[in-house]
Amino acid sequence: MTQRRRAQPLILSIILPLALAAQAAYAGSPLASGTGGAVATISEPASQAALAILNKGGNAIDAAVAAAATLGVTDPFSCGIGGGGFMVIYLAKEKRVITIDHREMAPASFQPTVFTDNGQPIDFDTAVASGMAVGVPGTVRGWHEALDRYGTMSFRQVLSPAIKVATDGFRVNANFSQLAAGNEQKFRLFPATAALYLRDGKAIPAGTLLRNPDLAKTYRLLSSGGVKAFYQGKLARAIVDAVNMPPVASGVKVRPGNMSLADLSNYEARLRQPIRSSYRGYELYGMPLPGSGGIAIAEALNILEGYDLKSMPREQAEHLYLEASRLAFADRNAYLADPEFTEAPVAGLLSKDYAARRRALIDPQRAMPLAAAGDPYAFQNDPSIPLRPAPTPARLLPESAHTTHLAVSDKEGNIVAYTFTIESWGGSGITVPGYGFILNNEMTDFDFTGPHPNVPEAGKRPRSSMSPTIAFRNGKPAFTVGSPGGSTIITTVLQTIFNHVDLGMSMYDALNAPRLSQRNSTATQVEPGFTGSPQARALEQLGHAWRDENEEIGAANAIVFNPDGTITAVSEAHRHGTGSALTQSPAH
């Protein structure tokens, strides 16, 4: 012990400058105001990539793909071309909102029992680090649809910044190193992943210059061959081989998948109508099914709209926010899944009258126990869904908190709110050998056992909580917000809107306030440091209890469109490191 203590000053003298250099490499401001276009991401290189595309005349769609591709280099444990996502786009000239669903899809071999042994669900971590956890990746198809339909640039142009970062390298920061350390056990299973992110079996330290020439090669392949280069040919074969015969370390066994080349070549992105709702003069657009967030957020806000929250003490308003979230989650857990497999009562869940029925269950002075799902079918007004099945028991399954969200706007007024993911930190852990990207574990977002709308099925997309949101006021963009965080995404976006609209916080304060995530549990998940605070004690008087999992909730990004024509980009001031907000013409 004495020797270790004596060594600390020397070790710190070596490590600390490297860590500070790494943080400096990521240094950015989480708040920026100005004119022209704007971008907010969790990574300075990604934000710079988007800004470079905007400055070259690209639009918000071009810039969003550039930022996303760069995040695949600098934030590879949460996103990349091995996964999928949801993109919400506002087209300013047409004054309309569209969404692109490029969520991962179950292979054609999938059965409802794929995650069970002898009728019992298998261990969750075992399922994650396996080929069977990998869904057909949708990200590249989503980028293609976005650029082909709404962009102005080619893959070659928008991938150029990411290729440079992957080739030249970037300095790993402390947060990156900590994430790698938390996944050492999983990464050791797969030599291609260990070679990238571990050194002698341990996480690469902060300050390391990390290059990914294999990913640069893959991006060049997409630059020249387009979307077909991913879903057909050598790369497609490499993906299928990695899923079906996971390339593991000597003596290691993991469950293989059963994906075919046809699964890849047949994958399609879906253009879907957004979820549209209103709240106190704002018009909100979110992601539809298989995204559950847009519906759950709208239902919770409809419940809250019946209260004069601005006139209440903060703890009273926050109590109602928590209870509205609880009720919305009871419905979300019971009814929502892939719309191509389940006739969910969406119109009923979005009904203001249904919200009034749910609101009547709230005690203004006392937190309720677990809430039961309601009966939205009575408010459906949709003859195509005539049945009223009994809701399945509400439950909250494990859902990865590890995703990323970015926001981009351009000088023409186009907006992109984009959340994409590979699911868990480090996804399945399987890096496609020779291509430099990690495959998702998105299939673990299915319910492992039924009966439930979200059970695994061939060709099905698992229910998601990703909630990219764009808000308008008087027909003009007001703000956009989104976050990573698994099922906490929904509460993060909901609470940020509540903080901004009802508590009157600036978007910066709304986004950086302590997060409270009530997802129909006996205790509300909170961030480190909240328990014992005056805010916590005030809510405890109303019957609330806390679950502190010792981790931050979300890493949100937002853009505010100010009445005077300026824009304000907002990112995290401390979560997941410091985010990066930029505008084309900064205010001075």
Catalytic site positions = 403
- Residue 466's contacts (CB-CB under 8 Å, 6 or more residues apart) are 85, 86, 287, 291, 293, 403, 405, 419, 420, 421, 482, 489
Q: What are phi and psi of 216, to 5 degrees?
A: -60, -40
Tell me: cis bond preceding 451? Omega within 30 of 0 counts: yes
* Token representation of residue 44: 């300075």
* Token representation of residue 537: 């004690």
Neighbours of 31 (CB within 10 A): 17
Closest CA to 188 of 440, 429, 427, 425: 429
The CA–CA distances, whole Å, from 286 to 101, 579, 581 equal 12, 23, 22
Q: How many Cα neighbours within 13 Å face the side chain of 572? A: 24
Distance CA 367, CA 583 (A): 43
Distance CA 48, CA 70 (A): 9
Full 3-state SS string of 212-244: CHHHHHHHHHHHHHCCHHHHCHHHHHHHHHHHH
Task: Based on DSSP, count helices (H) and strands (E) in the chain, helices before strands.
Answer: 20, 22
Q: What are phi and psi of 50, to 5 degrees?
A: -65, -45
Nearest 10 degrees: Cα torsion 295, 301, 304, 308: -160
Q: Which residues of 266-303 are buried (b: 16+ CB within 10 A; e: fewer)?
A: ebebbebebbebebeebbbbbbbbbbbbbbbbbbbbbb
* Token representation of residue 398: 């494990």
- Residue 247's contacts (CB-CB under 8 Å, 6 or more residues apart) are 190, 191, 192, 430, 433
Q: Are the beta carbons of 423 and 400 closer than 8 angstroms? A: yes
Q: Which residue do the tokens 């995204």 mark? A: 291
The CA–CA distances, whole Å, from 114 to 227, 430, 446, 449 equal 30, 19, 10, 9
Q: Which residue do the tokens 């993906």 mark? A: 239
